[in-house]
Structure 1
Amino acid sequence: MTTSELLSYCMAKPGAEQQEHEALQATQVQADGVLFAMFHQVNDRPAVSLKSTPALADLLREEHEDVFPSQQLNKSHWSTLFLDGTLKDSQIYYLVDASLQQALATKGH
């Protein structure tokens, strides 16, 4: 999966807005004012950070070597995954959808 493919998928979500975060050298995608995806490079590899429940984050990290705690965001809720790794495209799309749901569910808390 390429960054542009996944970014297009994220931007197709209702109310999605994109902004550049210069300090983190990242592209952030928000919906309804809440962050749900952050695109960046990790060790010169394309990556995205996505939000999930702590339980899902732990499970993903145990099962996939290409999923690890986010360096820039809350490590219990945010995982970073390589886009050029072993995760299937369908899994990545599912995790984007789950991240959006989780971000919107926790808005205002």
Structure 2
Amino acid sequence: MNTSDLLSYCMNKSGAEQSVHSDWKATQIKVDDVLFAMVHEVQGRPAVSLKASPALTELLREKHQDVSPSEHLNKSHWSTVFLDGSLKDSQIYYLVDASLQQAINTRGTGNHHGG
């Protein structure tokens, strides 16, 4: 998978808006001003940071070497997934959907401080 495929998929979500975070050299994708995906390069490789439940996050990191804690975000919820690694496109799309769901679920709880 490449970055443009991923961005297209994210931007097809209802209400999705993208902005550039210049400090992190990242493209952030939000719905209702809640971050659900951040596309950036890590160690020169295309990657996306996605939100998941702590249980799923732990499982992903155990099973896939191409999933690691996100540098700038809450590490118990946010993982960085390499787009050019071992995960299939379908798995990455599933994780994008799961991340969007997490963002929507936490939106009403006053818990949108970026982590």
1:32 CA drift (Å): 1.3
In structure 2, C-alpha distance between the alignment counterparts of 1:81 and 1:11, rounded to whole Å: 18
Question: 5+ residue gaps in structure 2?
Answer: 110-115
In structure 2, C-alpha distance between the alignment counterparts of 1:74 and 1:89, rounded to whole Å: 24
In structure 1, C-alpha distance between the alignment counterparts of 2:42 and 2:103, rounded to whole Å: 23
Determine if the alignment matches structure 1 residue 97 to structure 2 residue 102: no
In structure 2, C-alpha distance between the alignment counterparts of 1:10 and 1:69, rounded to whole Å: 21
Q: Which residue of 2 aligns with 1:35?
A: 35
User: Within 5 Å, which residues of 2 pair with 1:8-87?
Assistant: 8-87=8-87
- Cα offsets for 1:70-100 (capped at 9, x unmatched): 0010000000010000000000000000000
Identity %: 70
What amino acid is the match of 2:20?
A: E
- Cα offsets for 1:45-88 (capped at 9, x unmatched): 00000000000000000000000000010000000010000000
TM-score in terms of structure 2 length: 0.94
TM-score in terms of structure 1 length: 0.99
1:4 CA drift (Å): 0.2
What amino acid is the match of 2:25?
A: Q
What amino acid is the match of 2:74?
A: N
RMSD after superposition: 0.5
